[in-house]
Amino acid sequence: MDPIRPPAVAGLFYPEAPEDLDAEVGRLLAAVAPKKPSGAPKALIVPHAGYMYSGPIAATAYGLLKNAKRVTRVVLLGPVHRVPVRGLALPEATAFATPLGTVPIDAAGATALKALPQVCVSGAAHAPEHSLEVQLPFLQRVLQKFSLLPLAVGDATPEEVAGCLERVWGGPETLIVVSSDLSHYLPYDVARRVDRNTAEAILAFKHGAIGHEHACGATAVWGLLIVAQRRGLHVELLDLRNSGDTEGDRGRVVGYGAFAFREAA
């Protein structure tokens, strides 16, 4: 077993050279309109396409973490795209690498999750998966030093996801990140309508109204909504656009949304 999971989509979804990647992430974050300081969110939903497509939308969420000094652990969930898995999969590796450096796996959190029947260990599921990897450069830029608990979500139920989140929810040191794009390959105007309906379902905690045709990471989104509602979190829509807005081609677009969940004051 290689103790470090190397980047799989550097040079494809984001720049491969460290200096270029750092500059690109910095540019995306700098373009976000500043918001009134209100403390770090407890959870985020962010997209996971190539940075030229979804990077501006993801940046609206990660910009909220610029002063999140208390966050030292990130629980990151994203759907599998290439290697199917039953339940949720932890990696075999003890660290994930990007061109910006390595991020250690939270060993204690991984041990706690392994006790759950819906959790397995699969290096194969993580090796080619981009939904988790593309979040790391943003996190490395805004948090700098943190540990990672990455879960590749496969054939699982929303309650199985919720059970994992409850196990590692933690306190202010823990940030939950769910990686999901929205609709896929619809005409621009249709996608805008469908994605608006999905966003409204998320804002209303109506996880049952969100299908996999509405969000590729729907299972993880469902699980987060279940726990967030149980715990009384408030959700805010930060950005809702699609690849027709960011890349230009409006014939067949992919939808992207960014959401922040905050605990009650």
- Whether residue 207 contacts residue 227, with contact meaning beta carbons closer than 8 Å, is answered with no
The mean pLDDT of 110-121, rounded to a whole number, is 98
The mean pLDDT of 216-223, rounded to a whole number, is 97
92 token code pair:
């075999």
Domains, the chain, with CATH or none: 41-82+119-253 (3.40.830.10)
Evaluate if residue 1 carries a pLDDT over 70: no
Evaluate if residue 262 carries a pLDDT over 90: yes
- Please classify residue 197 by burial: count the beta carbons closer than 10 Å to its beta carbon, then call 0-12 exposed, 13-18 middle and 19+ buried: middle
Give 20-54 pLDDT, tens digit per residue: 999 999 999 999 988 766 778 999 999 999 999 99
The mean pLDDT of 166-187, rounded to a whole number, is 98
- Whether residue 41 contacts residue 64, with contact meaning beta carbons closer than 8 Å, is answered with yes
Question: For the chain, what is the mean pLDDT?
Answer: 96
Top pLDDT among 160 and 208 is at: 160
Strands 174-179 and 73-79: parallel
| pLDDT of 265 | 72
In our burial notation (b when 16+ CB lie closer than 10 A, e otherwise), range 205-223 reads: bebeebeeebbbbbbbbbb
Q: Coil, helix or strand for 120? A: strand
| pLDDT of 67 | 80
Give 46-68 pLDDT, tens digit per residue: 999 999 999 999 999 999 998 88
Show Cβ contacts of residue 104 under 8 Å, excluding neighbours closer than 6 positions.
94, 95, 147, 148
Evaluate if residue 177 carries a pLDDT over 70: yes
Rounded to a whole number of angstroms, the distance between the first and last alpha carbons of the chain is 44
